[in-house]
Structures are given as structure tokens and as C-alpha cells.
Amino acid sequence: MAPRRSKAKISPSLVAFGRRFRRYRDAKGWSQENVARRAHDGGGVTPQYIGQIETGRTRCTREFAEEMDRELEAGGELIELWEDFVKGATFPTWYEWLPVEETAAELTCYSLSLVHGLLQTPAYAEVLLYGDKEKTDERMARQGILTRQNPAPPGCTFLIDEGVFLREVGSPEIMREQLQHLVEASRTLKAAVHVVKMRGDHLGNISSFTIATMEDMAEVAYIESPARGFTLEEYDEITALRRALREVRALALPVDQSLDFIRKVQAERWI
């Protein structure tokens, strides 16, 4: 299921920090693109990330606040504001997932029934989206985080249940292409693809989920249901998903063996 785009409940403390941040940017006469290029000692971030900070849709690290304080000549105020408003802020329960995905340092994704959206081919995605071209294009655009230059792509681990490779989506041709894409993604993208042996006695059988680790090491998770997806960040919720992740990892094949398995299924089943 695609992350649902809806009005997110934004943390007031993050909004307060973002407003002050924007005032300092406006005072310098700089665009979001200009500020983005100056981040990380010239390594840069995306303009979207700056926009997300300014609208309270994501947190930044203290190091980022210190760097921007120097660049924007805030005289230490951005650091003080970070301590007051950002340090203890939490992501709201209904926080929109896409900004989290875009700004994560690492993504660990477990797929129970379908290939994860970040690794789907256009044809595979179009079948799942009932031929909706606009939604398919949006899903493909999401995958840009895996190939972007600045900032660097997140480190990604994709754990995929064995049944996903056996479950037909669309046609054998679409499945052959999709499995080939997974083999190539493991080689060309900053992504590790693992096949999870199909078992009925582990916590991963409840739902697919993704755990995002942010730059400040905070963790935010996304789980799916038939109605919509849920974004979670409470300690107990993350702990439960971490427990499920341990059980899933215990059943996962190493990358080389996983790729051999995918090639075998591609050659023997989807002919």
C-alpha cells in the first residue's frame, strides 16, 4: 500500500523552530536551494529537507542546527531554539511517512506479500495501482532517494518473504522483469536484498513494515493495513517491531544466496 497523503498533525515545537529558521533565511535573502547547498560543509541536503524543517515536518540534528546557525549568522539563537523546541520533540502519531522516508539515514524494510514500493518496476506498480498512471509515476519518483547524489542515498536493507517471488502480479513477463530488477538493484543501488524463508511461526507474518533511522538516531516506523498505512514512533511500538525484525532476520538468507534464489525462481517459475 502506498503511504497515504493526508494532512499530518504537526508538532507545535517543530513548527516554532521552523518559523525562526525561515526568518533567518529570509533575512539573508537566500532561497531554500541556496541554504541546502551550504549544508554539511558543502555536501548539501535537498531543498525539500529545508522545506520540511521550516514547516515542522521533520527534525534536524543539533550538528545541523549549529552549522546553520553559523551560515545564517544567528548568533547562537538557532542552537538555543534547537535545545528548547527540537531536542525533546517527537514525531506526531499521524505523521506523514514520505518526509521521513526522504530524510532517513537508514531504511530497513520487510515485505510480507509484495515487493516494496522503492523496488517495484513501473509495470509491477501499475498493476497494483489498477492502471493509475499518475500514482505509478509518483511511486517511481519516490525511488529517486536510492539514486540521488546530494544528500547520499539512505542505507537500505530489504527483507522480502519467499512467497513474494512466487506470487504472480500481472503476468509472468512482469514478474520476470521485476525479479531481474531486484537482482540488479542489489548490485547497482545502495541496497541489500535478502530473501526471508517462508515460515508461518514468526511475528513478521502479521504485516509488512519499514523502520527508518534518522540522522539523530531516532527511529520512526511505517506499517500497512488494508485501509491505510500508520506511522509510529512510540518506544513500545518500535520495540515490538524490532522484536519482529529480529525473527525475520533470523530466517533471511545472505545476499549472495538470496540472489541465487531469485534467479532460480525467475528461470523456473516465470517462463
H or E element that contains 179: helix 172-188
Q: Is the dihedral of CA 35, 40, 42, 46 positive or negative?
A: negative
**Torsion over CA: 200, 202, 204, 207 (sign):** positive
- The pTM of the full predicted model, rounded to 2 decimals, is 0.71
Confidence band of 117 (pLDDT split at 50, 70, 90) = very high
Considering the domain 97-269 in this protein, what is its CATH number? Answer: 3.30.870
How far from chain centre, in Å, is Cα 92? 17
Say which CATH topology domain 12-86 has: 434 Repressor (Amino-terminal Domain) (1.10.260)
Going from N- to C-terminal start, the domains of the chain cover 12-86, 97-269
What is the rounded distance in angstroms from the CA atom of residue 8 to the CA atom of residue 115? 26
**Is the pLDDT score of 2 beyond 70?**
no
Q: Per-residue pLDDT tens for 223-254?
A: 977 767 788 888 899 999 999 999 999 999 99
C-alpha dihedral (163, 166, 171, 175), degrees to nearest 10: 90
**How far is the C-alpha of 239 from the C-alpha of 244, rounded, in Å?**
9
CA distance 139 to 243: 29
Q: What DSSP designation does 252 have?
A: B
**Tens digits of per-residue pLDDT, 63-116?**
889 999 999 999 999 999 999 888 877 665 445 687 788 888 899 999 999 999
76 with 89: CB under 8 angstroms?
A: no
